Amino acid sequence: MAEIICVIGNKGGTGKTTLSHMLCQGLGLLNQRSVCVLTDIGREPLDPEGRRYLTADARSRDALAKVVDKIRGLNKWMGVIDGGANRSEMDRHLYGLAHLVLLPFRDSHEDIRTVQQDLETFPRALAIPTQWPTNPWAREAADKLIESQLGHYRNRILEPVFAISSSKLLLQKRIPDSLPSPLSNACRRVAAPVLDILRIDHEDVDSDVDEAMEHDPAPVRGRADAETTLGTAH
């Protein structure tokens, strides 16, 4: 059985797309096969070349149904569906499809107000702080904001994804031949807790980074099969 993960939320610019791609890259680095699914009609599909995951274009309802169907038929794969802002009905649809639902939010009052509503609307969803400040003082303030505004939901808030400027490399149409190690490590740290929630075994993310892996992106195992299966959805 494949797992379907949705990254949704009503507010724009919270980091849904970045998180979806970091998660997929991290899953790949932890030897888990995944497909990052584009649903945002305002965005262009990204080239899968060099990534540790596949990409699928599901910008129409029809294509989404086909892609989800195909992913479900791929044993032990994961589909990570990147939502889009201001699409309440689509968010509800994706929520209904998913085993795990993630709601990214940044450390702003507006993000926090919106994620509060989304946590109410989607009772199974988990919120995940993104672009979280790394400066100790800013981080303390941001953590306090969570405690004061979202304390009630503390059991549904995952560890933060810290701001990392190289994350934008994953949103390039074609990624560079090699990615910086801090980005790969950040991607692993995003993926590991998700695998833990889904009770899927994985290697320890704190183990020493295998330098060879950084410079020699191995093809996704079983990629050819999945590409054939997902082919019509591209």
Q: Which residues bind Mg ion (CB under 5 A)?
A: 16-17
Choose which of 8, 36, 150, 161 interacts with ligand ATP (CB under 6 A).
Answer: 161
Cα–Cα distances (Å) from 139 to 56, 135, 163, in that order, read: 35, 6, 11
Return the number of other C-beta atoms located less than 10 Å from residue 172's C-beta. Answer: 10
Query: What token pair was written down for 232?
Result: 């019509």
* Number of Cβ within a 10 Å radius of residue 113: 13
Q: Which does 167 bind (CB under 5 to 8 A by kind): ligand ATP, Mg ion, none?
A: ligand ATP
Q: Is residue 170 part of the contact set for ligand ATP (CB under 6 A)? A: no
Taking residue 71's Cβ as centre, other Cβ atoms within 10 Å add up to 26
- What's the min distance (Å) between Cβ of 78 and Mg ion? 19
What is the C-alpha to C-alpha distance for residues 128 and 214, in angstroms, rounded to an integer? Answer: 26
Neighbour tally for 99: CB within 10 Å: 15
Please identify, using beta-carbon distances, which residue of 17 and 130 lies nearer to Mg ion: 17
Q: How far is the CB of 220 from Mg ion (least distance, A)?
A: 23
Q: Which tokens in the block code for residue 194?
A: 């998700």
Contact code string over 28-57 relative to ligand ATP, x by CB under 6 A = ------------x-----------------
Residues 76-135 that bind ligand ATP (CB under 6 A): 84-85, 130-131
Residue 15 interacts with, from ligand ATP, Mg ion, none (CB under 5-8 Å by kind): ligand ATP
Residues whose CB falls within 8 Å of the CB of residue 143, separated by 6 or more in sequence, listed in order: none
Question: Of 23-31, 66-74, 163-171, 173-181, which segment contacts ligand ATP by CB under 6 A?
Answer: 163-171
Q: Of 133, 203, 192, give the one whose Cα is nearest residue 158.
A: 192
Tell which one of 34, 167, 184, 229 touches ligand ATP (CB under 6 A).
167
Contact residues toward ligand ATP (CB under 6 A) are 12-18, 40, 84-85, 130-131, 161, 163-165, 167-168
